[in-house]
Amino acid sequence: MSVIEKARMAYGPAAAIIRTPRATEHQVFSQITAQLRHAIGSGNHRDLVDALHANRKLWTTLAVDVADDENDLPRDLRARIFYLAEFTQHHTGKVLRQQADAEVLIDINRAVMAGLSGQEAKA
């Protein structure tokens, strides 16, 4: 690639990335789930704590969002998401105390990602 071509790429108009809210949510779940998988595989406790913290923050954000009366999701779906957020919080505490495995958190995130992409969750 020539210097001129590199300059055009560097200073040319940036391609706009357009994502739907669902696609953005899917991307966040995907990144955090990958972080959890990596942390479990690495065996590094600090990595696991960081991944669990990121996952907990995500689920706290979701719980706050679905608890809002202005949220447009169906009431039943909002209740199920809130329950999953509560479960995730509780289970994360168990994982941190080494009383449970983190794999179930990955399974929950994968099920949500499947729902966001319009697919049925795989068992």
Q: Which of 78, 49, 50, 52 is nearest to 65 (CA)?
A: 78
Backbone phi, then psi, for 118, in 5-degree steps? 80, 20
Tokens encoding 96: 């941190």
Say whether pLDDT at 123 is over 50. Answer: no
Query: How big is the chain by its Cα radius of gyration, in Å?
Result: 18
* Residue range 2-27, pLDDT digits in tens: 656 665 566 655 555 677 888 899 99
* Residue range 58-106, pLDDT digits in tens: 999 999 999 999 999 999 999 999 999 999 999 999 999 999 999 999 9
Q: Give the type of residue at 99.
A: Q
Whole-model pTM over 0.85:
no
| Residue 91 and residue 105 in contact, taking contact as beta carbons nearer than 8 Å | yes
